[in-house]
Structures are given as C-alpha cells and as structure tokens.
Amino acid sequence: MRNPNVSPVKDLLLERYAPIADGIAALFYPCAEVVIHDLRDQTIAYLVNNLSKLEVGGPSVLDEVHYAARGQTIGPYEKLNWDGRRMRCVSNILFDDDGKPAGMLCINFNIAVFEDVRSTLDLFIKGGNLTDAPAEDLFRDDWQDRINTYLHTWLRERQIGINALTREHKREIVEALHAQGAFRGRSSANYVAAVLTMGRATVYKILKQMKEGG
C-alpha cells in the first residue's frame, strides 16, 4: 500500500526524467549538477553529481511561485554555491500526464572552473615584469618580427584571414614588404615565402621584377 505521505508524482518524475538527468550529468561531468525537484511536496526527488551539498528527500528551497506562469524554462541565471563560487543555472518545469506542473529539473553548472582557467591564462598572457618593448640593441635587426607585424596589420585592416589570401593578395604583400625594406634581412625572402605559402622562386621573381621596374 502506498505511503500517503509520498508525493503522487514521485514515481513519474523518477521514471521519466531521472535518465535524462543522468545523461546530462555524465556529459558535463564533473562540472554539472542536475537536480529534480518534486513540486508537489517541495522536496528533492533526485540528485546527480552533488555540487551544492543538497540531499535527496531534503527540502527544495524553491520559492513559492506559480511555476506555470514563469514559463517552461527559467534562466539561464547565476547563483553562488556554498563555497562562494559562481554557478550558472537553468531550470525546466516538468509536467504530469494532465499537463500540470509536477517537478522541476535544474542544471547547475560550475563556471568557476572556467574562471580559474581564464585567470591562469590571463596571468601567462599578460606576463610579469615585461618591458614595454624588446631591448633595441638585441632586436634592432629583427626583420622576422617586423614582417609579422606588418603582415598581420595588413590582414587586419582588410579583414582577410591569412588562409584566404589569393595570388594577387600575396603579390601585393610581397611588393608592400619590399617597399618597407623587409627583404634586407638574410633569408627574409625564404621566410616570407613560407609564411605566405608561396614558392621561393615566385617571391624572388616578384622581387626581381620590382628591381628591374624600379
């Protein structure tokens, strides 16, 4: 005989939605916690990958709201976890066979993990104790750096990716680099040919034509 204190939708929620909760938690493990709340008795019916120290059977701590009026999907929204770390969440209303709100499936995603990664990357990218510019005496003849700087400025101004350069684009770049004196460095022509995926003979041919024409 069914315990009269057991919610009438408990079995439905577990049979119909627990496998979905398992799948979501498995896909995003270990960053996602999935909770199924029973709206009839305001308890937690199911919990996977517990990040928030909740307990199955414990109170749902959901606000007393008319869930249907909020729409079927609530969020995404953010909240703080017990350890002060941020979580990004989304909640979906679960309905019984009569179309009445029976439960709520909440996905709580621990974005603090990614914030930690971003902070670490920022630390390395920004660096520490960097000088404003390379030591001039050491890098005075760094033609490779100058070629890279000029090339990517050229690409950015024209909003072209380096892999999308046409033959005409490449010739234009070689001519522009020549005008900037970029080919004074030893092996600079070979470097430009490699960067632009051109034959070295093609680069030398363009340079020869420019010298003969100039």
Query: Domain boundary residue among 59, 88, 116?
Result: 116
Q: Is 159 helix (H, G, I), strand (E, B) or coil?
A: coil
Q: Are 103 and 94 in contact (CB under 8 A)?
A: yes
Question: 145 and 91: one domain?
Answer: no
Do residue 98 and residue 15 come from a single domain? yes
Q: Is residue 77 part of a domain?
A: yes
In a domain? residue 182: yes
Domain count, the chain: 2
Instruction: Note whether 22 and 101 are same-domain residues.
Output: yes
- 75 and 142 housed in the same domain: no
Cα gap 82→107, rounded to integer Å: 16
pLDDT tens, 118-142? 888 887 777 666 655 554 443 345 6
The DSSP H or E segment spanning 33 is strand 32-38
97/187 same-domain check: no
Residue 83, domain extent: 10-116
- To the nearest whole number, what is the mean pLDDT of the chain? 82
Structural domain ending residue among the three candidates 90, 116, 142: 116
Return the SS3 of 136: helix
Q: Both 88 and 21 in a single domain? A: yes
pLDDT reported for residue 123: 78
Q: Are both 22 and 102 inside the same structural domain?
A: yes
Q: Quick one: pLDDT at residue 131?
A: 59
Domain membership of residue 5 (yes or no) is no
- 26 lies in a domain? yes
Buried-exposed string 182-195: b where 16+ CB fall within 10 A, e elsewhere: bbeeeebbebbbee
In a domain, 126, yes or no: no
pLDDT in tens, 182-212: 887 778 888 889 888 889 899 989 888 888 7
Q: Is the pLDDT of residue 4 over 90?
A: no
- 169 with 99, same domain? no
What residues contact 76, with CB distance under 8 A and at least 6 apart? 88, 89, 90
Query: Do 138 and 107 reside in the same domain of the chain?
Result: no
- The pTM (predicted TM-score) of the whole model is 0.58
At residue 90, the 3 state secondary structure works out as: strand
Residue 198 resides in a domain = yes
